[in-house]
Amino acid sequence: MAGLRKRRLGRTGLAVSELGLGAMDTPHSPEAIDTVMTALDLGIDFIDTARDYEGSEHLLGEVIRRRGGKDFVLGSKTFRHSANGSQYEIDRSLRVLGVERIDLYQLHDISTPAAWDEVMGEDGALEGLKTARYRGLIGHIGISSHHLDIAERAITCGEFDTVMIEYSAFFPQSAPLIGLAAERDVGVIVMRPLGGSGRTSTMRGRLADGYSGPLTPANLLRYVLSHPGVSVAIPGARYPSRIVENVATASSYEPMTLAERRKLEQAAAELY
């Protein structure tokens, strides 16, 4: 089996494995440490967390200590909308993670015009992140959003090195934004590439019952990685077995044809 392929994370210049790990739910597993360790041992080198993901930064801090240092690209996020609030969150992240610098720090879930105005305005959270970057506490600045218009603003305004958006066969409408981000050299981090934990559980149940159609976690991951503008996809995982499955897919997949993508989109639309 070939190893994981690398992609450029936009203007950050960082080369990261195209398969990452979203560590929101990982701490709630009895195998949390082993899950993260397995990911890193199998070549995943981008992990996303956030201050408000309960136990997530603590978990990654423990992994970093056990490994004798941080050997992966780390992104965290803040829900705070003020400059002081975002700087406070960064300082907390650094202490909990036990590192001197975080590669990527993102404004978390900026999905309304009001939230955008708050973080982008005077004394807004973006100002705080810029100060932290100047101090050498973070390397790059990103943003996550569940609103396509806000994501487009983030891509075109020139302030953000990366954007995190939802994209999958369940949510294909963000594809043009991914292309726009590539044109602007903004790294694209794809959240919910498998459609979210509820859909994934439903799919796995159907597979256990003998389903043989195209709508599988492996094909959903292939779908996302088939878009050349995607920098990294970050499915969540609570158990090492899920990491192994995702790595096997990402290490051996062939990009989907247009016909395959449309067929998968149709199957996804019919699930719910």
Instruction: Provide block-wise average pLDDT over 10 residues at a time, the chain (272 residues).
Output: 90 98 97 98 98 97 97 98 98 98 98 98 98 98 98 98 98 98 98 91 93 96 98 97 98 97 97 80
Our separate counts of H helices and E strands in the chain read 11, 10
pLDDT at 8: 98
pLDDT at 109: 98
Q: DSSP assignment, residue 191?
A: E
Contact assessment for residue 153 and residue 179, using Cβ atoms and an 8 Å cutoff: no
Task: 34-38: list long-range contacts, CB under 8 Å, 24+ apart.
Answer: 34/240, 35/237, 35/238, 35/239, 35/240, 35/242, 35/243, 36/60, 36/63, 37/63, 37/66, 37/67, 38/240, 38/243, 38/244
pLDDT at 197: 73
Q: Count of CB atoms within 10 A of residue 61's CB?
A: 19
Q: What's the CA gap between 94 and 57, in Å, rounded? A: 9
pTM for this structure?
A: 0.97
Nearest to 248 by CA among 257, 235, 263, 262: 235
Q: What's the CA gap between 37 and 139, in Å, rounded? A: 24
Contacts of 114 (CB under 8 A, 6+ apart): none
